[in-house]
Structure 1
């Protein structure tokens, strides 16, 4: 296979981003999806690099700081005792600064990097116990990765780059090109099918990478800081593309980023990492409203609260008939979205769910929420 432009990602691109692996071994059918079973379930996961790495989890060295661990053992713990579930249909964001362990973690999910300890299941199936055939099937059919470096084949057209994973799967030429053409339209590249990567902008190349991952129709999409190298406006466009695709398809996504605004915008839940550990896991609103420690508090200090906090956490109890008539908003409406409704109404606005009034919001409630004051509990 010709080398890709991003040599460091060559193995990852052929195995995961393209949804394929080198030929050999029988295909293993995917486990049927059970809505009650997490797509990924991770418990006590470790990844340690260095001599005697497998002896670190559970040892007296496990709780040493990164510096002390290196000095005493020569090892680096990139992922430390991490546990979480990824639920079907959610966008699960892992965020943290450089060196926090987030990219190592996402690569452990498909064993592009072998975990040192812990348990890892996909759809209830033990990923750590999978043989090469099962792993190949997982990477071909069940999980596709979109990398920061696009890893496109420079001599192939957009259409053939998108179809590459299907070609490795053995899909016939006519079918794979038809499926690739559908992906071209889905990611907004119509009219560019016959261009080569060198004729595309960075954002367009990333769309090709996204289309290539989608073409194999994976159960879950894994994004490893895919938009980090893009200009701000193009990055925002690609975020909108991910939001649109998730809204249309409801596909499970695991998204790695170092950008808090990106995490808040895309994530249903966010795992914030520091030094290989998850320091807080929750919804964007939970992380902004109730930081777990000073590190998280400093992280979210400059976040516009009105764009994240919802009226469910800003409302007060309805009094003197306020809950019987007037304007309404849904409980997941953000404070920023509710400002216009409250301003137009000139009166408290009801927060309604399933025909029931949960409480009301007025200008005072919204200002208190923006200031970070505790909401008055609704009756």
Structure 2
């Protein structure tokens, strides 16, 4: 995907008097050491990153880590001390005020934590406010506002006032206002932080669904790692103004960069981070008209105790070496296969595979077209949950000696 926003070597320093703070940072002095020595506060410390078009890029950190300062530099609300912030062909860190206003009007919208709604305006007028600033005629902005409200499920509340809505509904209004202007980039600064936990989770799920349709470029700020893992295509973990680690949820949970990140992910529910594709092994498979000897050989080649049976490329069942060993001399793969073989989509999370794993059979993993692309032995699921290496699946070497020889 093309890069939509690129930040290069961003520094933001507050109350700097001596002018040598950047040099001190480059020498390895900490944020606290610099503050004690000079009185300068390090907001952002040499941060560089790319955000790709259509990506949700989450910046996660504790209070004081610099994440909110960073997101405000991305649309010019705070000018960085040095560095570049490119939105397509515009460097918002150095362009003039008029050009910056144009970039904000055409390309960037911001969704805030505390809704920032006008209590005296209707929901529709709140959503249309940015369009009014742009000079759009009243009828057109009303239509655009209704469209945006429909995207978040609030079209019926267009003529209500914010005080008549729940907190979750008010946050949807804030999101609709961001969407109404047709931005290419959404900056979301802890947008669900003020919501109750249940409503917050609902909003997270709704954002995931909405993003699948709209494919906006979203930079999402949060202090909640579970929220970051749920939403982020990639996640940046921030500490003392700097990025400690950037990667997918799976990268960060499986390979934390240091003790700081390791402490964050120690109690994460891995079953909601890793998917079938993350733990899948190469599958053993045979066509439905295969002989038992051919099925045996497929298992042997894959080092597996079972092989999936395919009809026109899709899973029709599964045959095990035990089933083969107990088969009569004239029986075929179709005679001995288990027809209700467990199968999941490659995107299924591990916690969604528990029922399939309880069969004791290897779980087939298919792509969007139903094609078998992998297999997950039940023990591989639990090994991943325990952060261990998957145990080897039973092999044909464990099979009884009565197993038919390959023909």
TM-score by length of 1: 0.84
How many residue pairs match? The answer is 342
Matching residue of 1:141: 106
Whether 1:349 aligns to 2:363 is yes
The CA distance in 1 between the partners of 2:96 and 2:364, in whole Å, is 56
Matching residue of 2:251: 286
- Selected match of 1:132 from 97, 106, 115: 97
Change in CA separation of 1:53 and 1:329 when aligned onto 2, cut-off 3 Å: farther
Q: How many Å apart are 1:257 and its aligned residue? A: 0.4
Matching residue of 2:376: 361
Matching residue of 1:16: none
Change in CA separation of 1:244 and 1:312 when aligned onto 2, cut-off 3 Å: closer
Matching residue of 1:179: 144
Matching residue of 2:323: none
CA offset digits 1:190-221 (Å, max 9, x no partner): 33222222222222221111111110000011
Where 1:128 maps in the other structure, the secondary structure is: coil
Matching residue of 1:199: 164
The CA distance in 2 between the partners of 1:106 and 1:60, in whole Å, is 21
Q: How many Å apart are 1:152 and its aligned residue? A: 1.3
Matching residue of 1:229: 194
Q: How many Å apart are 1:309 and its aligned residue? A: 1.3
Whether 1:340 aligns to 2:355 is yes
2:111–2:191 contact (8 Å) kept in structure 1? yes
Where 1:39 maps in the other structure, the secondary structure is: strand
2:379–2:390 contact (8 Å) kept in structure 1? no
CA offset digits 1:101-125 (Å, max 9, x no partner): 1000111111111111122211143
1:147–1:225 contact (8 Å) kept in structure 2? yes
Q: How many Å apart are 1:372 and its aligned residue? A: 0.3
Q: Which has the higher contact order (CA 8 A, sep 6+)?
A: 1
CA offset digits 1:308-329 (Å, max 9, x no partner): 1123332345464345534544
Q: How many Å apart are 1:89 and its aligned residue? A: 0.5
Q: How many Å apart are 1:151 and its aligned residue? A: 1.5
Q: How many Å apart are 1:347 and its aligned residue? A: 1.8
Q: How many Å apart are 1:161 and its aligned residue? A: 0.7
Where 1:240 maps in the other structure, the secondary structure is: helix
After TM superposition, list the pairs within 5 Å mapping 1:149-168 onto structure 2. Answer: 149-168=114-133
Q: C-alpha root-mean-square deviation of aligned residues, in Å?
A: 2.2
Q: Which moved more, 1:313-322 or 1:81-90?
A: 313-322
The CA distance in 1 between the partners of 2:268 and 2:276, in whole Å, is 17
2:383–2:391 contact (8 Å) kept in structure 1? no
Change in CA separation of 1:237 and 1:324 when aligned onto 2, cut-off 3 Å: closer
Segments of 5+ residues of structure 1 without an aligned counterpart are: 1-34
Change in CA separation of 1:150 and 1:202 when aligned onto 2, cut-off 3 Å: same
After TM superposition, list the pairs within 5 Å mapping 1:1-379 onto structure 2. Answer: 36=2, 38-52=3-17, 55-59=20-24, 63-318=28-283, 320-321=298-299, 322=306, 324-325=308-309, 326=318, 327=341, 328-344=343-359, 346-352=360-366, 359-375=374-390
Where 2:93 maps in the other structure, the secondary structure is: helix
Change in CA separation of 1:203 and 1:358 when aligned onto 2, cut-off 3 Å: closer
Q: How many Å apart are 1:330 and its aligned residue? A: 4.1
Segments of 5+ residues of structure 2 without an aligned counterpart are: 285-297, 300-305, 310-317, 319-340, 394-407
2:147–2:155 contact (8 Å) kept in structure 1? no
The CA distance in 2 between the partners of 1:351 and 1:208, in whole Å, is 39
Where 2:42 maps in the other structure, the secondary structure is: strand
Q: Which moved more, 1:252-261 or 1:228-237?
A: 228-237
Q: How many Å apart are 1:58 and its aligned residue? A: 3.8
